[in-house]
């Protein structure tokens, strides 16, 4: 059931559930972390100080909403879980909600119990966050999401809006207290200084983020580096780091300075809990699984050699367009703002 059909049947149920504090009739609740199966070919790591064990490879949510046939998406998600991937990424606005709908359908028949489920909210106000969260709960067919992150903290005003009276943080904390979510984090990919501002605001409000998601790749180390500026702060605070943009939407690979599996090994070598990677077809899933199976932490000599090979290409941000364009729609020739009206 795709978004256009899903909304007709689910909106009324979602609103009713929000009103009386119950989940939709088809909702599924996950078991505890200790019941999640593990594969000997996958790496599992602690998620910050949460006590959760999650797969070091995370399935990116955007790419599993793009297959022409929904059955392809469902099959891909289930194959990933059957192969040992327990960390699933998603977002309220990925593919206009299609990614969450397909993931929710994939997690039926006992699969919800096997995974640590994460999604993200764009809303900056309490009201908008609550609206988006109820929609995500219905799409994902669950009454509780393990981790919800504030999405795309890419503007310097975003932290102030989230922490303001009536801001999204109030909604997230209330949702956690109500048992709708378990952990709270945030994401961003524009400038490490914005991440640091978000962490500074958390300190001012005596609030602890469970996770933070950021670009970690062989070019980030050279240009507006989250690895150098944000990662050490997150480590010190016991925040679980979720790495993304390992391939820079494939533009890093197009530079011909690094190949896919070594790029994944670089990100996995960093002190991160999860490397979230886009997987849109079986052969890309095989590639990610192979990276996990063959992983050994890179030596300092190997890291230095990789950084030397990528240095010249990285210095201008040419291959990290998510940092250097106002906002990025996934094509090199057409960067544009993808501002979401729901940020109000």
Give pLDDT, residue 285. Answer: 98
| Position 76 in a domain | yes
| Position 9 in a domain | no
Domain at 210, CATH number: 3.20.20.100
Give pLDDT, residue 201. Answer: 97
Give pLDDT, residue 101. Answer: 98
Cα–Cα distances (Å) from 9 to 24, 112, 205, in that order, read 11, 21, 40
Cα–Cα distances (Å) from 172 to 13, 99, 326, in that order, read 21, 22, 27
End-to-end CA distance of the chain: 29
pTM, whole model, 2 decimals? 0.86
Give pLDDT, residue 12. Answer: 36
Give pLDDT, residue 317. Answer: 85
The Cβ-side half-sphere exposure at 19, using a 13 Å CA radius, reads 6
Nearest residue to 225 via CA among 190, 262, 258, 250: 190
Give pLDDT, residue 24. Answer: 37
How many other CB atoms are found less than 10 A from the CB of residue 342?
16
| Position 7 in a domain | no
Instruction: Indicate the SS3 state at residue 120.
Output: strand
The 10 Å CB-count burial string (b at 16+, else e) for 231-270 is beebeeeebbbbbbbbbbbebbbebebbebeebbbbbbbb
Task: Give the number of domains in the chain.
Answer: 1
| Low-confidence stretches of the chain (pLDDT beneath 70) | 1-35, 327-344
Give pLDDT, residue 2. Answer: 52
| Position 11 in a domain | no
| Position 283 in a domain | yes
Tokens of residue 107, six digits: 């997690």
Can you give the residue range of the structural domain that contains 153?
33-343
| Position 37 in a domain | yes
Beta bridge partners of 79: none
| Position 14 in a domain | no
Q: How many residues are recorded in the chain?
A: 344
How many other CB atoms are found less than 10 A from the CB of residue 139?
27
Give pLDDT, residue 21. Answer: 35
| Position 43 in a domain | yes
Q: How far apart (Å, rounded) are the C-alpha atoms in residues 305 and 98?
A: 41
Q: How far apart (Å, rounded) are the C-alpha atoms in residues 71 and 69?
A: 5
Give pLDDT, residue 344. Answer: 40
Interval 268-303: pLDDT, tens = 999 999 999 999 999 999 999 999 999 999 999 999
Tokens of residue 313, six digits: 């290409």
User: Which helix (H) or strand (E) covers residue 291, if one does?
Assistant: helix 282-293
């Amino acid at each position: 059931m795709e978004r256009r059909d899903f909304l007709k049947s689910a909106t009324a149920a979602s609103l009713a559930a929000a009103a009386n504090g119950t989940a939709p009739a088809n909702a599924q609740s996950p078991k505890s972390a200790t019941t999640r199966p593990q594969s000997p070919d996958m790496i599992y790591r602690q998620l910050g100080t949460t006590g959760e064990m999650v797969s070091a490879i995370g399935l990116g949510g955007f790419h599993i909403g793009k297959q022409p046939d929904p059955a392809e998406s469902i099959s891909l998600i289930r194959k990933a879980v059957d192969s040992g991937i327990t960390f699933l990424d998603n977002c309220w606005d990925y593919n206009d909600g299609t990614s969450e709908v397909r993931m929710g359908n994939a997690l039926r028949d006992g699969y919800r119990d096997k995974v640590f489920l994460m999604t993200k909210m764009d809303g900056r106000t309490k009201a908008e966050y609550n609206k988006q969260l109820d929609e995500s709960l219905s799409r994902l067919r669950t009454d509780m999401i393990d981790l919800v992150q504030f999405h795309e903290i890419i503007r310097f005003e975003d932290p102030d809006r989230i922490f303001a009276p009536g801001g999204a943080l109030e909604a997230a904390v209330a949702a956690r207290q109500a048992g709708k979510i378990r952990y709270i984090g945030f994401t961003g990919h524009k400038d490490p200084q914005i991440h640091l501002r978000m962490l500074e605001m958390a300190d001012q409000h005596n609030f602890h983020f469970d996770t933070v998601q950021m670009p970690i790749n062989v070019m980030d180390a050279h240009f507006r580096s989250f690895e150098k500026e944000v990662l050490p702060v997150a480590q010190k605070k016991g925040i679980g780091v979720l790495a993304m943009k390992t391939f820079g939407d494939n533009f890093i690979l197009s530079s011909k300075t690094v190949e896919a599996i070594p790029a994944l090994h670089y990100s996995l070598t960093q002190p991160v809990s999860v490397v979230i990677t886009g997987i849109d077809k079986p052969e890309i899933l095989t590639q990610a699984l192979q990276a996990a199976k063959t992983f050994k932490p890179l030596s300092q000599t190997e890291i230095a050699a990789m950084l030397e090979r990528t240095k010249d290409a990285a210095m201008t941000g040419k291959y990290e367009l998510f940092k250097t364009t106002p906002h990025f729609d996934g094509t090199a020739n057409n960067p544009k703002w993808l501002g979401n009206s729901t940020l109000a």
